[in-house]
Structure 1
Amino acid sequence: MSTYVYMVRHCDSPKEGNERTRGLTPKGYSDSQLITDILKSEKINAVVSSPYRRSILTVKKIADQLGQEVVIYEDLKERKFSSEDNRISDKQLAPLLEKSFKESTFALEGGESNDDCQKRAIEVINELLDKYRDKNIVIGTHGAVMTLIMGYFDSTFDLEFLQRTTKPDLYRLEFKEKDLVDVKRLWDVQ
């Protein structure tokens, strides 16, 4: 038997605002329905998410269809890039990510490193793999933390991979016990 983890990178969200409370744009809401339509046939057992509103809203419809609540895990939140609670601009983020993927312990003051983010997120993933062994789990997530989780199991999931992902994006990870044996992208860029 296998455990399937569906990593759902959140849909489009406004460019300004607080990291924790930013929601979805109209396109984001529309895409969240498309994500739900893809996941309908996957026999999902549980829906979990980062505590950030945009991730919760991206996977909420699938949880609603199952008659479940989205289970929130604080340690699935996006990597904290700085001490600020507001979004970092793409112009600022690109060089920060490049340096972070070259030096996994690098962090801005008040932020966290790739190593720190990966460590906290992998603890949750291991807990979920134990709790939902041989089941299907949806995880509402973010680009950097998703890449760091996937990269923990397979180093080919790196900065280049992150740069190719979209909002939203959807990957099905197949685990045998805690070994990642297959990854399939399920999101067909619209």
Structure 2
Amino acid sequence: MTTIYFIRHAESDYTEHNDELRPLTDKGLIDRQLVTAYLMDKDIKIILSSPYKRAVDTLVDFANKVNLPVITVPDFRERKVDSEWIDDFDSFARQQWQDFNFKLSDGESLSEVQQRGIAALKKVLENYKNQNIAIGTHGTILSTIINFYDKSFGYNEFNEIKHVMPWIVKFKFDGDKCIEIEKINIFKYKYK
């Protein structure tokens, strides 16, 4: 049995429009302690993350406490929306969930994001079989991974979690077959 804890990053500072460099807010830096508290007794052997600062920084507190490196995996990065900042993100997101192939001229479709995320996940399942793994990632790519295994997860469910940061989703796999998906309410855990 392989157990993967996907961790959507804590709250990030949207005044930084560079997706790769966007840091956590002060609240995000505090809330990442919830991730640490939750993961401490999960016997995590491997910590992987999107290379984006907010994803790595969400896991670094836990990584330091358990003396494990955070290994970056570029394919767990967030979807590229476009080269320009999008002001009406809600309309854009709705359109993408209605048409998985819709994308802006310099962006990615949800279909492309899902294919990238699932390919990366399959490599993890091959390379770290029967381990407990934490993976730092982002809301959209995580939502498309859930959707791959559970087609009922769509725009409405994505919209419900868009402000939930951090967010943990636990996947259990028997080989490469997903047998359970559990969404974790991280805010019931206490700061340490």
Q: Smaller-chain TM-score range? A: over 0.9
Equivalents in 2 of 1:155, 1:97: separation in Å?
17
From 76, 84, 94, the equivalent of 1:98 is 94
Which residue in the other structure is 1:9 paired with?
8
Which consecutive segments of 4 or more residues in structure 1 shift more than 3 A? none
Cα deviation, 1:76-105, whole Å, max 9, x if unaligned, reads 110101123x5x44xx11111111111111
- Structure 1 gaps of 5+ residues are none
Q: Could you give the per-residue CA deviations for residues 124-155 of structure 1, whole angstroms, max 9, x where no partner exists?
A: 10000111111111111111000011111221
Does the 8 Å CA contact 2:34/2:186 hold for their aligned counterparts?
no
TM-score scaled by structure 1? 0.93
- Which residues of structure 2 form unaligned runs of 5+? none
Matches within 5 A, 1:17-36: 17=16, 18-36=18-36
Distance 1:182 1:156 in 2: 14
* Offset at residue 60 of structure 1 (A): 1.1
Pick from 137, 149, 174 the counterpart of residue 153 of structure 1.
Answer: 149
1:92-126 CA-to-partner distances (Å, cap 9, x unmatched) read 11111111111111000100101111111111100
**SS in structure 2 at match of 1:30:** helix
CA RMSD of the aligned region, Å? 1.3
Q: Is the 8 A contact 2:80 2:107 kept in 1?
A: yes
Q: Is contact 1:24-1:54 (8 Å) kept?
A: yes
Q: Which amino acid aligns with 1:150?
A: I
The code of the aligned residue for 2:8 comes to: R
| SS at structure 2 position matched to 1:101 | helix
**TM-score (norm: length of structure 2):** 0.92
Identity of aligned residues (%): 29
Find the counterpart in structure 1 of residue 62 from structure 2.
62
Map of 2:169 onto structure 1: 171
Q: Which amino acid aligns with 1:132?
A: Y
Name the stretch that deviates more: 174-183 or 71-80: 174-183
